[in-house]
């Protein structure tokens, strides 16, 4: 019994509750997943391959996109959906390259969802695109749970964030098709243990490659472009 508030708390640290195992007879799609399915069909019908980029704030999603747009300019036609809780600073940076871009402001919401992306798709010239990058809201946790209808999920982890992040945020590393370590140019100034990071990621996800790149120096960009290139329709 707690003296101050009279509650019955035992002092134990809360633990995640194990979900009860209930036999699933038929998979009922959630409202989000239903729209994600429609988005996927939209994209397929237009011959567009879509990538959902997820990371912490400031991990370098926009910078990687700028380098990617520049490299793909002669090879394919790229469109961008930008997700942020507020502002359109990233969309303005992308628009300055002449790339079709739509900004989604979530109004404080911590992730994109399929209906937001659905609306954004209608604002893009889909017939003129072959590749779509969706830059999710900067958040290493919430975006993972929402299928947007993308073909591939990409996690970025910047070197300054530290190699221990798969311990603390395992869900994103389990879920993605590739992990991109960004800001590799900062390696000399930080204690980022790349081999430890690879071991942690592959402990959660045996198949996702771990690429290391610096959009600033260009290091590793070819590997990223090669991985992308294998996935265009």
Residue 55 vs 68, nearer CB to a second copy? 55
Chain positions 188 to 227 lying near a second copy, rule: CB under 8 A, are: 189-190
CB 177 within 8 A of CB 209: no
Residue 185 makes contact with a second copy by CB under 8 A: yes
Which of 29, 31, 70, 110 forms a contact with a second copy (CB under 8 A)?
110
Closest CA to 141 of 164, 171, 182: 171
Stretch that binds a second copy, among 72-80, 105-113, 207-215, 219-227 (CB under 8 A): 105-113
CA-CA distance, 208 to 195, in Å (whole number)? Answer: 15
In the bound state with a second copy, the residue whose beta carbon lies nearer, of 90 and 147, is: 90
For residues 2-12, b (16+ Cβ closer than 10 Å) or e, as one string?
Answer: eeeeeeeeeee
Question: Considering the rule CB under 8 A, would residue 183 count as an interface residue with a second copy?
Answer: yes
| Token pair of 225 as six digits | 């472009």
Is 15 a binder of a second copy (CB under 8 A)?
Answer: yes
87 touches 93 (CB < 8 A)? no
Distance from C-alpha of 58 to C-alpha of 186, rounded to nearest angstrom = 14
Least distance in angstroms from the C-beta of 32 to a second copy: 14
Helix H or strand E encompassing 38: helix 31-45
Contact residues: a second copy, CB under 8 A: 2, 4-5, 7, 9-17, 38, 41-42, 45, 56-58, 84-87, 89-90, 102-108, 110, 115-116, 118-120, 122-123, 137-142, 158, 160-162, 164-165, 167-171, 183, 185-186, 189-190
């Amino acid at each position: 019994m707690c003296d101050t508030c009279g509650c019955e708390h035992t002092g134990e640290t809360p633990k995640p509750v194990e979900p009860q195992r209930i036999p699933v007879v038929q998979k009922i799609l959630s409202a989000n997943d239903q729209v994600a399915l429609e988005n996927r069909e939209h994209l397929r019908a237009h011959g567009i391959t879509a990538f959902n980029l997820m990371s912490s704030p400031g991990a370098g999603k926009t910078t990687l996109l700028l380098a990617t747009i520049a490299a793909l300019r002669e090879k394919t036609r790229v469109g961008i959906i930008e997700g942020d809780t507020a502002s359109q600073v990233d969309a303005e940076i992308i628009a300055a390259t002449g790339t079709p871009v739509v900004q989604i402001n979530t109004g404080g919401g911590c992730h994109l969802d399929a209906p937001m992306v659905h609306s954004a798709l209608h604002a893009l010239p889909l017939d003129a695109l072959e590749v779509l990058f969706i830059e999710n809201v900067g958040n290493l946790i919430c975006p993972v749970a929402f299928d947007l209808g993308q073909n591939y999920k990409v996690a970025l982890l910047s070197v300054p964030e530290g190699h221990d992040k798969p311990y603390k945020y395992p869900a994103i590393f389990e879920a993605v098709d590739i992990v991109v370590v960004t800001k590799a140019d900062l390696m000399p100034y930080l204690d980022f243990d790349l081999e430890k990071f690879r071991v942690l990621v592959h402990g959660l996800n045996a198949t996702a490659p771990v690429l290391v790149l610096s959009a600033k120096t260009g290091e590793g960009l070819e590997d990223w472009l090669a991985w992308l290139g294998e996935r265009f329709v």
